[in-house]
Amino acid sequence: MCSYRTITIERHFIDQQALHPDATGELTRLMHQLAFAAKQITKEVRSAGLSDILGVAGHTNIQGEAVQKLDEISNDVIYRAMDHAGVLCCMASEEREHMIPIPAEFHYGKYTLAFDPLDGSSNIDANINVGAIFSIHRRVSPDNTPGTVEDLLQTGRKQVAAGYIVYGSSTMLVYSTGHGVNGFTLDPSIGEFLLSHPEMRIPEHGKYFSINMGNYHYWSEGVRKYIDHVTTPSHEHGTPYSSRYIGSMIADVHRTLLYGGIFMYPLDFKDPAKPKGKLRLLYEAAPMSMIIEQAGGHSTDGHQSILDVVPKGLHDRVPLFVGARRNVAELLEFLRKYD
């Protein structure tokens, strides 16, 4: 992308705030603190192979998964960037079972933050892209009081802002406040995020599908028939689609945003009486779906937009299908016909 105007993320936040004359600057401050946390975590991720912070910390998180040290470091960096900033009334993290309160000595702000401090963390040892995902809501309980779980349990549609930071060959921060999607790349030499991907749009259609094929026999008939369709040469789409799956949702969805196609993590019917999704609604599916929808794509749980799924608990899981508009429409035809 070629531009002779260099726009830092700070300047972009200020320009965005100017579009809203009634803005108090709280959201700008919140985003500023997240960008600050992203720089600190970049430093940790970049030195992961050099210091003794690889491997499992020795216990499991509330989802029963091995917690690696970098998850905890990332969790703490984000928490410490936010707790005293005066912009949040409470937080939720993948790494904490319960709501995270704001300590009483600090000001209670009007927003909530739900986050996955490190997505794809099982890939760290292999030097594969990982990232953080964030979702921000306006609180529903009275201002200047401690936040409640109800403040966090809101639909994706009500997100005030959402986005992710991907630590890949470079660090990128991609976010939306409901007016399109902008992407910033960290210039490590000056420590600034620079606008590199203004007004991102997902292609209408792409020839990539992204799913863990090892689960094929546990999916519904509709999903299986769709996968059979895109892997079989046909009149409509010619050669089969290409498969891309790295096992880091953040990287798989980021690629889908750039190149089109579809990312899927369907229900698993291993136990037909208790089908279950894997990805978490509040801090994985909803924020990534907001980004994709704001970029012109679609998201669905098979019935409705992910953005309309009502959360009941902080760690609810949902089936997720997200991507280019025509790819998601194509999938839905199969789900409607066979499921």
Work out which of 25, 180, 191, 247 binds ligand AHG, going by CB under 6 A: 247
- Characterize the bridge pairing of strands 56-60 and 66-68: antiparallel
Q: 184 in helix, strand or coil?
A: strand
Calculate the alpha carbon distances from 290 to 6, 157, 285, 299, 308 in Å: 26, 8, 9, 8, 11
CB of residue 303 to ligand AHG, shortest distance in Å: 21
Compute the distance between CA of residue 275 and CA of residue 132 in angstroms, rounded to an integer.
27
Query: Per CB under 6 A, which of residues 273..292 are in contact with ligand AHG?
Result: 278
Residue pointed to by tokens 């059979």: 228
| From 61, 77, 93, 116, residue interacting with Mn ion (rule: CB under 5 A) | 116
95 binds, among ligand AHG, Mn ion, none (CB under 5 to 8 A by kind): none
Question: Which span (73-81, 89-97, 147-155, 233-241) binds Mn ion, by CB under 5 A?
Answer: 89-97
Q: How far is the CB of 67 from ligand AHG (least distance, A)?
A: 9
Task: Name the minimum Å distance from CB 219 to ligand AHG.
Answer: 12
Question: What is the closest distance, in whole angstroms, from the C-beta atom of residue 316 to ligand AHG in the complex?
Answer: 15
Distance between CA atoms of residues 2 and 322, nearest Å: 29
42 phi and psi angles, rounded to 5 deg: -55, -45
Q: d(Cα 134, Cα 283) in Å, to the nearest integer?
A: 6
DSSP symbol at 295: T
CA atoms within 13 A on the CB side of 150: 4
Amino acid in the structure at residue 200? M
Stretch binding ligand AHG (CB under 6 A), from 28-36, 103-111, 114-122, 156-164: 114-122
Q: Which does 112 bind (CB under 5 to 8 A by kind): ligand AHG, Mn ion, none?
A: none
Cβ closest to ligand AHG, residue 103 vs residue 214:
214
Q: Which of 121, 135, 159, 305 forms a contact with ligand AHG (CB under 6 A)? A: 121
Q: Which does residue 247 touch among ligand AHG, Mn ion, none (CB within 5 to 8 A, set by kind)?
A: ligand AHG
- Selection from 261, 278, 263, 262 nearest residue 218 by Cα: 278
Of residues 94 and 330, the one with the C-beta less far from Mn ion: 94
CA angle 145, 75, 176 (to 5 degrees): 75
The residue from 119, 293, 301, 330 that contacts Mn ion (CB under 5 A) is: 119
Q: What does the block give as tokens for 143?
A: 């201002």
Q: Are 51 and 71 in contact (CB under 8 A)?
A: no
**94 lies in the site for Mn ion, by CB under 5 A:** yes
Could you write out the DSSP letters of every residue in 24-70? -SHHHHHHHHHHHHHHHHHHHHHTTTTSS--SEEEEE-TTSPEEEHH
Cα gap 8→195, rounded to integer Å: 6
Q: Binding ligand AHG by CB under 6 A: which of 8, 16, 155, 212?
A: 212
Binding string, 42-71, against ligand AHG, x = CB under 6 A?
Answer: -----------------------x------
Q: Please choose which of Mn ion, ligand AHG, none residue 302 contacts, taking the beta carbon within 5 to 8 angstroms, the exact cut-off set by kind.
A: none
49 binds, among ligand AHG, Mn ion, none (CB under 5 to 8 A by kind): none
- Minimum distance from CB of 214 to ligand AHG (Å)? 7
**Does 268 engage in binding with ligand AHG (CB under 6 A)?**
no
Contacts with ligand AHG, residue ranges (CB under 6 A): 65, 94, 116, 119-122, 212, 247-249, 278
Contacts with Mn ion, residue ranges (CB under 5 A): 94, 116, 118-119
